[in-house]
Amino acid sequence: MSDRSRSTIEGPMTPLPATLSVTEVLARRLGEVALLFQQSLVNDLPAVTRLTQHVERYRGKMLRPTLVITSGMAVRDGSPQSASVDHRLNALAAVVEMIHMSTLVHDDVLDEADLRRGGATVNTLRGNETAVMLGDFLISSSFHLCSSVGEPWLNTALGAMTTQLCAGEILQLSHRGNVSLDDQTYFEIIRRKTGVLAGACCGFAARLAGGSPETSEALRLYGEELGMAFQIQDDVLDLIGDEQVVGKTLGIDLRKGKLTLPVVIHLARCDGTQRSQTIEAIEQGDVGGLVACVRSTDALNAARERAMQFVSQAKSRLSRVTESPSRHMLESIADAAIERTS
């Protein structure tokens, strides 16, 4: 590891007082992650730096870094503080956030989206070419930072995970406009597109924190199932959410012919005239008409119920983790995934 990389990842870190609550510790650590994220994207070219500064607003709730830090805390509950472990977990948190940011930038290009986190997307401001290259820059930067952690297995594991992300996107694109999409194929799409990254956040963090293979795998599955519930809620919000609250362009899935779970469930429940009306609404990009169709078979509630099942499965995985405030935080994060409106 170079001196420059070490000074960035393993710079001064003030030990946190033992009296701080898990919420306070998490807030401090996320601040450190945000700083590391910014430092890792500093570039000698002002044009690049301006773009990376713009994309920082995409961070939002920082769910994935939160999963990394909280999973690490849950595994290490009761263990002595270790600055070295904390530095590695902070680096992983910044890495997964860069990967997530890159997928958002690329998704906005694919979806021709205008709005992200209440602001203009990079493709709207600078065009598709610049947005694609920025997404690539973020991915490249994430692997550069990861390589400086000093854990070769992590580089390999992150490579495998990002391959799954891309494969999931390709699988979804290959089913664009497929009104016969079944729910199992849909679940495989969202597992790869969303679940595997959330699973990596928790499973890799557990391993870095010294968790056993069994505990690390349980946390990986927790994250994967949480991620799938999160994506289903996104699907619901894309149909009936408030764009001002959600903070991004809605109705994109419909316009791009991407069938989401409420629509998949609805089409499986209807036939004849109702099915024809639904397909017509999809082909015409009629969000209002499609929502009316989906409501008629209670498919929105059915999708929410499936998301709740994933949350329940995810929370059951935490039985492998010692009960602690950090574990309770993971349970609360899972519940929040399906209660959110943005």
Q: What is the pTM of this model?
A: 0.89
Radius of gyration of the chain from Cα atoms? Answer: 20
CA-wise closest residue to 89 among 13, 176, 194, 177: 13
Q: What is the pLDDT of residues 158-193, one digit of tens each?
A: 999 999 999 999 999 999 989 999 999 999 999 999
Total structural domains within the chain:
1
Q: Is the dihedral of CA 127, 131, 132, 137 positive or negative?
A: positive
Q: Reply yes or no on whether the pLDDT at 121 is more than 80.
A: yes
In the chain, the percentage of residues whose pLDDT exceeds 70 is 90
Q: Give the DSSP per-residue string, 10-47.
A: T---PPPPTTS-HHHHHHHHHHHHHHHHHHHT--SSHH
Q: Which residue would you say has higher pLDDT here, 79 or 242?
A: 79
pLDDT at 118: 66
Domain CATH number, residue 71: 1.10.600.10
Q: What is the extent of the structural domain holding 31?
A: 3-339
